[in-house]
């Protein structure tokens, strides 16, 4: 019985001790390998909250299999000359406008991630571009009017979708948004 109590205490205490805010981790990340920000995540840590990528900069998030619980937030990539390369993350509980949201002439390379439990998995908005490759994107069915895996706005500059497993979205796996 004592052994069970110790295991239960560890199960409750350790995850809280191994959590870090994703935005704070990003802000503290150094430059490296040609990036203005190179964030290398620890797979033993759960990263929480959304993250706004610094505008006009080239950034990389290397997940190494780390969990990113966005707590209803998003990974925002916006504004001209803003670039994000994100790989190896398990991203879940993103906002209704996309776990990864690329907009306003920004670009992203989304490769080798698992994205689930958001309103939209990846949303590439007006005048932006993205390459979405080798991801597992599933069950993005949060309460919203948009429940898709990958969504593209009509004015998206380019969207390359390659070798993804996209499944179980109430609205469909892919969406092309063309307002009025």
pLDDT computed for residue 123 by the predictor: 93
- Could you tell me the residue range of the domain that residue 91 belongs to? 19-177
Inside any domain, residue 2 = no
Flag whether 7 is in a domain: no
Residue 57 within a domain: yes
Is a pLDDT exceeding 80 seen at residue 12?
A: no
Q: Say yes or no to pLDDT of 7 above 90.
A: no
Inter-residue contact 111 to 121 (CB < 8 Å): no
Domain count, the chain: 1
pLDDT of residue 146: 72
**145 pLDDT tier (thresholds 50, 70, 90):** low
Residue 1 lies inside a defined structural domain of this protein = no
Q: Enter the pTM of the model.
A: 0.88
The region of weakest confidence among 36-40, 129-133, 172-176 is: 172-176
% of the chain exceeding 70 in pLDDT: 87
Q: Give percent above pLDDT 90 in the chain.
A: 69
């Amino acid at each position: 019985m004592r052994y069970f109590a110790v295991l239960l205490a560890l199960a409750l205490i350790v995850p809280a001790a191994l959590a870090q805010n994703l935005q704070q981790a990003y802000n503290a990340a150094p430059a490296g390998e040609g990036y203005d920000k190179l964030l290398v995540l620890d797979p033993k840590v759960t990263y929480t909250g959304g993250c706004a990528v610094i505008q006009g900069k080239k950034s990389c998030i290397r997940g190494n299999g780390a969990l990113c619980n966005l707590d209803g937030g998003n990974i925002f990539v916006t504004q001209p000359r803003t670039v994000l390369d994100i790989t190896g993350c398990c991203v879940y509980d993103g906002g209704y406008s996309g776990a990864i949201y690329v907009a306003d002439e920004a670009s992203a390379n989304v490769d080798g991630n698992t994205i689930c439990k958001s309103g939209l998995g990846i949303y590439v908005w007006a005048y932006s571009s993205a390459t979405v490759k080798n991801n597992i994107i599933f069950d993005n069915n949060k309460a919203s009017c948009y429940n898709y895996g990958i969504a593209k706005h009509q004015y998206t500059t380019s969207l390359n979708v390659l070798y993804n497993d996209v499944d179980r979205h109430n609205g469909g796996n892919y969406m092309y948004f063309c307002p009025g």
